[in-house]
Amino acid sequence: MANQNLTTWRSLNLALHDAFSEDPRLLIMGEDITTWGTGGGIYGVTRKLASSFGRSRVRDTPISEEVILAAGVGAAMTGTPTIVEIMYSDFTLLGLDALINQAAKARYMFGGQFKVPLVVRTNGGSGIGKAAQHSQSLETLFAHIPGLEVAVPATPDDAYGLLRSAIASPNPTIFLEHKDLYFDKGPVSGAAIPFGVARIARPGQHVTLVATQRALRWCHEAANELSAQGIEAEIVDPRTLHPLDFEAVRRSIQKTRNLVVVHEAVQDFGWGAEIIARAATECWQHLDNAPARLGAARTPVPYSAALEAAIVPQVHEIVETVQRMRAINIDAELTARN
């Protein structure tokens, strides 16, 4: 399979079918993954897995995330490569003991005697009116925990490639899909994408924008507006938050000398602060301005579409932030000349 044009949910579905075909040990479990709607969970990602590989490997579970996650961790710890689907990332909070105190620490606590080949597939983010308990962006929470890998695919190709790598990993991986990107369409190469390798989503020379998932849309829109003004933004998509490819960010900063981080998660204590802290401590000599970050307001996600859109960073805010940086740069250049 190469260079198919697929939606994100179909690319994920293809990755699962390919992985199940290659490894007869692979198991997936979750709520209604064989029965809902098209027979593939609420977004279709597990469609036709049960009919292709049997219900002993594709298992519907009771509505109990604590039990689902604990069972998934236990299966992985006994050597069975296991995928767990949790309908919404908000619901993973019910099973954090299994993830944080067991899966993330097992290899360390037992001297590496066994692996934990677990993938927790779930989705996060706002944008489609799922309200406060179904729309959170929790990637920073998981990225903070030693022992967990965190993937945040933004394109159909990344969804396929990163999921294949997550399934092959010996470590527990939180695989965060975005509910507003499932129907985005694009080319899928069919190749695994290694963790810890960022993607340059748009080359540029005047400012570095770092973003993931839906925030990449806003950055692309802002970059188009800025380009019309003669400002070329480079967009860096980390693709995984742990491992994090900070070297790609560093190389971009060395070229553009300006940094703005944009994410959908609440701005306070978000992963953008980690990027900026590392930029300030490791790349200060390459920066012409203090880095800036744009994140969501510190509030639960509203149900109202208008309010839901208003709490996340706006395209005009990205544009204005970059314009202010460029104005400072120009003023500094004029002062130096005089």
For residues 267-295, b (16+ Cβ closer than 10 Å) or e, as one string? beebbbbbbbeebeeebeebbbbebbbbb
- Note whether 153 and 118 are within 8 A (CB): no
- Note whether 117 and 76 are within 8 A (CB): yes
Phi and psi torsions of 249, nearest 5°? -65, -40
- Note whether 33 and 63 are within 8 A (CB): no
Eight-class DSSP state of 302: P
The token duo for 87 is 């309908």
Those residues with Cβ within 8 angstroms of residue 15's Cβ, 6 or more apart along the chain or in another chain? 159, 160, 161, 163, 164, 167
Given the residues 65, 85, 139, 234, select the one marked as catalytic: 65
- Note whether 179 and 152 are within 8 A (CB): no
CA-nearest of 183, 143, 137, 138 to 159 is 183
Of all helices (H) and strands (E), which one includes residue 279? helix 271-282
- Note whether 86 and 72 are within 8 A (CB): no
Q: Tell me if residue 134 is catalytic.
A: yes
Would you call 252 helix, strand, or coil by DSSP? helix
Give the integer Cα–Cα distance in Å for 128 and 230: 34
Given the residues 31, 85, 134, 178, select the one marked as catalytic: 134
Would you call 211 helix, strand, or coil by DSSP? strand
Give the integer Cα–Cα distance in Å for 139 and 122: 11
Those residues with Cβ within 8 angstroms of residue 290's Cβ, 6 or more apart along the chain or in another chain? 280
Q: Are strands 233-237 and 118-124 parallel, antiparallel or unpaired?
A: unpaired
The answer to whether the Cα torsion of 207, 210, 215, 217 is positive or negative is positive
Positions marked active-site: 65, 134
